Amino acid sequence: MPNRNILPQNQPLPQAVGWILIVGLNDAKEGPLQPMVVQNSIQINAAPARVWKVLTDPLLTAQYMFGCRAETDWKVGSPLLWKGSLGAQERVFVTGRILRIEKEKVLEYTTFDPNAHYKDIPANYLTVAYTLTSRDGGTLLEVSQGDFAGVEDSRKRYEETLKGWPMVLPKIKALAEKP
C-alpha cells in the first residue's frame, strides 16, 4: 500500500500560511523507507531581524522551547546545547551541531536527546531547519524537522514532534511581535 500523505520530493511547498505537515507512514512491508519530515510555517508580523533574534537569543529561546536556552557561538560546526533546569539541577536536554547559518534567512542544526535510551550515533540525529522570508510586511517562518524514517523509535519521535511545533511556533510569533 503506497504512502498517501507524502509530497513528491521535487514539488514546491504550498504558499499558504499555516501548519503544513508532511506525513510519512513507514511500514517494513512496503519496501524502502519513505521520508518522515514534519514541516510547519507561520506568518509573523515582525521583520526577519526580530524573528532571528527570537530564534538565537538564549533568553528568548527559553520562553518558547520548553524552558531551554540555546547555547552556542552560532558558527557552522559548533555544538548547540539546549539547557534548562530540572528542579534545582541544570541539565542539557538536547545536543546538536550548527549545520548552516545565513543570518536572518536560514538556520539549520542537528538535534539529539542525550537523556533518551537511543544510541548516540549520526543515524539517530534529526535536522531542524528554519527559513525566514520577508513577506507581506512581516516574516514567513518555515520550519522542518526530520528525517525520522531511519532513527530509532521513528514513529514515536515523529508523533511527539507533530505535537511540539504547534505549541512552539505561536510562542515564537508572540515573542517576535512583542513591542
**24, 37 Cβ separation under 8 angstroms:** yes
Per-residue pLDDT of 37-83, as tens digits, reads 999 999 999 999 999 999 999 999 999 999 999 999 999 999 999 99
Listed range (32-41, 60-69, 157-166) with the worst mean pLDDT: 32-41
* For residues 153-170, average pLDDT: 94
**What grid cell was written down for 69?**
536556552
Region of 77 please: left (phi>0), alpha (psi -120 to 50) or beta.
Answer: left
List, in order of start, the domains of the chain with CATH numbers.
34-177 (3.30.530.20)
How far apart (Å, rounded) are the C-alpha atoms in residues 115 and 85? 14
* For residues 125-149, average pLDDT: 97
Site of grid cell 520550519 = 143
For residue 163, pLDDT over 70 is answered with yes
For residue 23, pLDDT over 60 is answered with no
Q: In whole angstroms, what separates CA 30 from the centre of its chain?
A: 27
